Amino acid sequence: MNPAVLLTGAAVERGGRQVVRAVDLTVAQGSWFGFIGANGSGKTSLLRALAGRLPFAGGSCRVGGEELVGDRAARALRFGFAPPPDKLPDSLRGRDVLEFTGGKMEEVRSRMGSLYVALGVAPLLDRWIGDCSAGMRQRIAIAAAFAGGHSLVILDEPFNWLDPVAAFDLRRALRERVDGGLTLMTALHDLNTLAAACDAGLMFADGKVAMTLSEDMLQTAARTPQAFERQMIDILRSETGG
Ligand SMILES: Nc1ncnc2c1ncn2[C@@H]1O[C@H](COP(=O)(O)OP(=O)(O)OP(=O)(O)O)[C@@H](O)[C@H]1O
């Protein structure tokens, strides 16, 4: 079976500067792949390029075996992607955002399954985005990534701004979806979620892969999360000179 995503030597430029360089990674189908790294290390730039929101400046990007490095539009169609919550237009309601990305609300609801409840979407449908809190915007943005029924989904720091119950429910619902075949890629700042929920991942430092986090490593991390946290903090600190 082809990997869901295979990057070789991938590069992304922003402001005329390469902010992602020489990235190799393999994301297995039906797995949850986590990206961690310091602020500014390149996670968002890489995820936006994968989702077709930015061009790649070099390398190869195979999605399900098909070379798409030069085809942003095809990548944008292939991935469900949560828009940055602070960029959602104030003048739309929750339902407008979801219908824009996924069509009829009944269809969006059935595609979302348990995520619809986990994200508490119903009370947000008729609320103006401009009247939403940061956590409410985040819920709508994540819902938008699932509204179209994609089997490949990219979420950039999905747990930011969520209250503890919403974060717990979302993590569980996402894990269930991955166990049901979804391929999920998330940037995370929370090492506990990385250890407890992800199947594999990598650590970014200064636009490059500083460390690959294998399935074995993350299984060990799930059993000994405190030791994993200590180890990751030490590595992140040394990578950033912090
Ligand atoms: N719109 C932009 N124009 C120019 N440079 C940018 C832009 N957005 C980000 N950058 C630069 O790209 C680099 C990588 O930023 P990116 O947002 O990808 O990092 P990140 O790992 O997602 O950070 P964070 O954890 O803070 O979200 C940084 O040096 C940043 O200054």
- Does the C-beta of 43 come closer than 6 Å to ligand 1? yes
Kindly give, in sequence order, each residue whose CB lies less than 8 Å from that of residue 93, ignoring residues fewer than 6 positions away: 125, 126, 127, 128, 129
Give the whole-angstrom CA distance, residue 124 versus residue 40: 32
CA of 20 to the centre of ligand 1 (A): 10
Instruction: Give the residue whose CA is nearest to atom 12 of ligand 1.
Output: 19
Which residue, 69, 64, 86, 63, is CA-closest to 20?
69
Indicate the top mutation candidate among 12, 35, 43 to test ligand 1's pocket, ranked by most ligand atoms within 8 A of CB. 43
- Other Cβ atoms less than 10 A from the Cβ of 183: the count is 25
Instruction: Give the residue whose CA is nearest to atom 26 of ligand 1.
Output: 39
Give the whole-angstrom CA distance, residue 134 versus residue 129: 10
CA of 113 to the centre of ligand 1 (A): 33
- Output Rg (C-alpha) for the chain, integer angstroms: 17
Locate CATH 3.40.50.300 in the chain.
1-79+151-242
Give me the interface pTM, i.e. the ipTM. 0.98
How is the beta sheet containing 66-67 ordered, strand by strand? 17-27, 5-14, 58-63, 66-67
CA of 39 to the centre of ligand 1 (A): 8
Element (H, E) at 18: strand 17-27
Give the whole-angstrom CA distance, residue 170 versus residue 165: 8
What's the maximum distance between 2 C-alpha atoms anywhere in the chain?
Answer: 50
Can you give the pLDDT of all 242 residues of the chain as single tens digits?
899 999 999 999 999 999 999 999 999 999 999 999 999 999 999 999 999 999 999 999 999 999 999 999 999 999 999 999 999 999 999 999 999 999 999 999 999 999 999 999 999 999 999 999 999 999 999 999 999 999 999 999 999 999 999 999 999 999 999 999 999 999 999 998 999 999 999 999 999 999 999 999 999 999 999 999 999 999 888 877 65
CA of 154 to the centre of ligand 1 (A): 17
CA of 190 to the centre of ligand 1 (A): 19
- Does the C-beta of 48 come closer than 6 Å to ligand 1? no
Instruction: Give the residue whose CA is nearest to atom 17 of ligand 1.
Output: 44
Taking the CA of residue 44 as reference, the ligand 1 atom at the shortest distance is 22
Token pair in block for residue 114: 């348990």
Instruction: Give the residue whose CA is nearest to atom 2 of ligand 1.
Output: 14
| Right CATH for 1-79+151-242 from 3.40.50.2000, 3.40.190.10, 3.40.50.300, 3.40.50.1980 | 3.40.50.300
Give the whole-angstrom CA distance, residue 24 versus residue 195: 21
